[in-house]
A and B are shown apart, each in its own frame.
Chain A
Amino acid sequence: MSNSVIEVPPKGGFSFDLCKRNEMLAKKGLNPPSFRKTGTTIVGLIFQDGVILGADTRATEGPIVCDKNCEKIHYMAPNIYCCGAGTAADTEAVTDMVSSQLQLHRYHTGRESRVVTALTLLKKHLFNYQGYVSAALVLGGVDVTGPHLHTIYPHGSTDTLPFATMGSGSLAAMAVFESKYKEGLTRNEGIELVTEAICSGIFNDLGSGSNVDVCVITKAGKEYLRNHLQPNPRTYTSSKGYSFPKKTGVGKSCLLLQFTDKRFQPVHDLTIGVELGARMISIDDKPVGLQIWDTAGQESFRPITRSYYRGALLVGL
């Protein structure tokens, strides 16, 4: 878009003024709340019987991995699937929306959906939002006209390719594809190549990681291989397990009873909320009355017991 000096009256379409304001603020240092992205490596290739799509499973929120096993291969139609990279909310919403539109179109026409239909719906939507819907997609499927594989960029441009990669790990994955792809791959060769490309992204790109998802689509149907490969298992798990320190049953009520009543009761009911005990003691020959509140240890009583700490002169831990 060019910066024009002439003020043109708005003719319709969307106004992106607030987007420009946000960009200006970001440049000045005011950072927007971080949102969940799928850093990602997503790939697709055409093999002799159809299309194979692959994706990693890491979702990040800034520098933190917020989901170690998310699903990036989204359903569009029984014969069409779409991998999504970019802002997770955008990819989910846009694929969901177009999937519903395709279903309505199937009811209207009474026919199986075609990949170019999904492609056109997605590209029109993304172009209308001028790249602000940050969704980079690899769309693949098999319809009556054969297998198709397309990439769709956030600004709405599309490419039709025999093999494609997208996302932050796309360079690593493309390197694998460029050296090993050939036409007429068999199903197992194709799955192996896709897995290798995703692994290349997982191990060489910080925005991608965890497991490999694969989806094979042919004329006969689809096969969704969730977590087809799990090359990143948890390595440091203690065989003993972990337990957290007990807060209940440590003897608070017993202690109070002993102090106020000078007696011991071996079996106690669980303290509900808070209990009050009182005792007179003398300090420096002056009588002092002690009001002692015995709070419940259970997590569920925490909000009640909290209010009793205010104004306390002494707390016993």
Chain B
Amino acid sequence: MDLNMNVNAPHSMGTTIIGVTYNGGVVLGADSRTSTGMYVANRASDKITQLTDNVYVCRSGSAADSQIVSDYVRYFLHQHTIQVGQPATVKVAANLIRLLSYSNKNMLQTGLIVGGWDKYEGGKIYGIPLGGTLIEQPFAIGGSGSSYLYGFLDQAWKEGMTKDEAERLVVKAVSLAIARDGASGGVVRTVIINSEGVTRNFYPGDKLQLWHDELEPQNSLLDILNAPPSPEPMNI
């Protein structure tokens, strides 16, 4: 392995992102790892960004490109809300993202999942992958870790789940992807959006369920650091 890690390589989010509709709203989920080359630049990043009170977007791909695109769309949506006089719909948000992504397809490298709730259509998920396609789906996955989730979600997603079932599904999916994808890791963040509002949840990495071949942490430095100081001599 090249030990000369280029810490000035473009910041990319290897990532696993997922958005799922349920009966009454949507649940968005993501991991928290941002890498520059082989180094984890941020192990606790928040990839689920707010666009409006009721619409959020999951970002993947180049960190810079996705941050700038979501900043522009947040600004456009704010203007749109003032002009129209009511909260923007999820479809409008998704279309604004798609317009930016498609017209700059040569320059941008970012895949996004837009999810939210509005009073006309209810909970909706829109996937906008690399080229700038816009596709409305009952559930969407993205990022490098998504390769490991296609089969799982085909089997596990069902129409008309409850809020808790949907969130459990999202956490399980992201956790499975983290187990297999090197570019995903850290914690699992979820955002639940429905008619009542927005709820953010946080699942630390060491509290997730263990999958095949994963071991319980043993003799972790965290135990030694947090333990009260004891005068035990070292065992040889």
Contacts and interface: CB of A to CB of B under 8 A. Distances in A.
B107 interface: yes
Of the listed residues B5, B11, B42, B106, the one surrounded by the most CB atoms of chain A closer than 10 A to its CB is: B11
A155 B107 contact: no
Nearest to A4: B106
A315 B105 CA distance: 74
Interface in A32-71: none
A170 B8 CA distance: 11
Contacts of A155: 10-11, 62-64
A297 B162 CA distance: 96
Interface string B40-65: 01101100000000000000001110
Interface in B100-138: 105-107, 109
Given A168-B7, A171-B5, A153 B36 contact: yes
Contact of B68 (A8, A156, A166): A156
Q: How large is the interface on B (under 10, 10 to 19, 20 to 34, 35 or more residues)?
A: 20 to 34
A8 B45 contact: no
B67 A167 contact: no
A155 B67 CA distance: 11
B27 to A, nearest CB: 24
A131 interface: yes
B39 interface: yes
A8 B11 CA distance: 26
- Secondary structure at the A interface, as helix, strand, loop or mixed, is loop
A159 interface: yes
A171 B40 CA distance: 10
B42 A161 contact: yes
Nearest to B107: A1
A203 interface: no
A154 B107 CA distance: 16
A179 B226 CA distance: 11
A159 B62 contact: no
- Secondary structure at the B interface, as helix, strand, loop or mixed, is mixed
Interface residues of A, number: 25
Contacts of A179: 221, 225
A157 B7 contact: no
A2 interface: yes
B112 to A, nearest CB: 15
Interface in A162-191: 166-168, 170-171, 179
A157 B107 contact: no
A170 B42 CA distance: 12
A1 B109 contact: yes
B146 interface: no
A312 B71 CA distance: 75
Contact of B67 (A154, A157, A161): A157
Contacts of B64: 123, 127, 131, 153, 155-157
A161 B32 CA distance: 13
18 contacts: A86-B8, A123-B67, A127-B68, A151-B42, A153-B8, A153-B11, A153-B36, A153-B63, A153-B64, A154-B10, A155-B62, A155-B64, A157-B67, A158-B67, A161-B42, A168-B7, A171-B7, A171-B39
